[in-house]
Amino acid sequence: MDAAVVVFDGVDELDAVGPYEVLANAATAVPELRVELVSLAPTVRVTGSHGLVLEPSGTLGDRRDLIVVPGGGWNDRAPAGAYAEAVRGDLPAALAELHLHGSVIASVCTGAMIVAAAGLLRDRRATTHHRAHADLRDAGARLVKARVVDDGDIVTAAGVTSGIDLGLWIVERWWGRSLADAVAGEMEHQRVMPAAISRAEGAGRTPSSPDR
């Protein structure tokens, strides 16, 4: 699996680093899993909402099996962050194109609003940070108040720390519960399972995903 966590100026750091660490830990046991922090366009660094400087190792490109979209800055309409990216439109357009070509799109916190701006959440079950629930409904999503919601080729997580549960669910969905539980144990994290799973069996899987 070729997985990417896309970052941008104003991104919430834990939204991005939480699922990244989960997937990076899982990759030690899964040779075919590769995860990296990427940006939409080439850049040396991005600065998160709390001032942490991140250095993307590449760009989003035109082919990814899984894309994780963090949030940050949506609720206060910050000039850099999820709201700014949704308004600008370049990242939503790229996500829509990648989704059209088979990428599974996952979001953490208000990253869901970037995914919504891509037109991918209309009439889909989804969640986001509790302060953005009304915005998510207004975007046409079917709000589920849950930690993680799996709707097949779209997987969303609630606020900030739920990105860890998102990452663990992705690991379980592709490589089984034993590995996900092992990663959670190593990270000393108590898992919260998805409250809504509506995908058909096999939906959204990549060619590298084993049948379970």
Number of other residues whose CB lies within 10 A of the CB of residue 196: 16
Contacts with 104 (C-beta within 8 Å, 6 or more apart), sequence order: 65, 66, 67, 153, 154, 155, 204, 206
Which of 109, 117, 118, 157 is labelled catalytic? Answer: 109
Lowest mean pLDDT among 45-49, 58-62, 190-194: 190-194
Q: Which long-range contacts (CB under 8 A, 24 or more apart) does 100-103 make?
A: 101/62, 101/63, 102/65, 102/206, 103/63, 103/64, 103/65, 103/66, 103/67, 103/153
- pLDDT bucket at 202, cuts 50 / 70 / 90: very low
Number of other residues whose CB lies within 10 A of the CB of residue 157: 36
The string of pLDDT tens digits covering residues 6-30 is: 999 999 999 999 999 999 999 999 9
The string of pLDDT tens digits covering residues 135-171 is: 999 999 999 999 999 999 999 999 999 999 999 999 9
Instruction: Give the distance between the most distant pair of CA atoms in the chain.
Output: 44
What domains are there in the chain, each with its CATH number?
2-197 (3.40.50.880)
Q: H or E stretch including 154?
A: strand 154-157
As a whole-number percent, the residues of the chain with pLDDT over 70 amount to 92
Instruction: Read off the DSSP letter of residue 102.
Output: T
| Residues 210, 123: Cα–Cα separation, whole Å | 29
Q: H or E stretch including 19?
A: helix 13-27
So what's the pLDDT on residue 125? 96
Look up 188 and say whether it is catalytic: no
CA dihedral 189, 3, 123, 10 (to 10 degrees): 80
Q: What is the CA radius of gyration of the chain?
A: 15
Q: Are strands 34-39 and 2-6 parallel, antiparallel or unpaired?
A: parallel
- pLDDT bucket at 204, cuts 50 / 70 / 90: very low
Please state the φ and ψ torsions of residue 186, each to the nearest 5 degrees.
Answer: -65, -35
Q: What mean pLDDT is reported for the chain?
A: 92
Q: Is the pLDDT of residue 4 over 60?
A: yes
Question: Letter for the amino acid at 30?
Answer: V
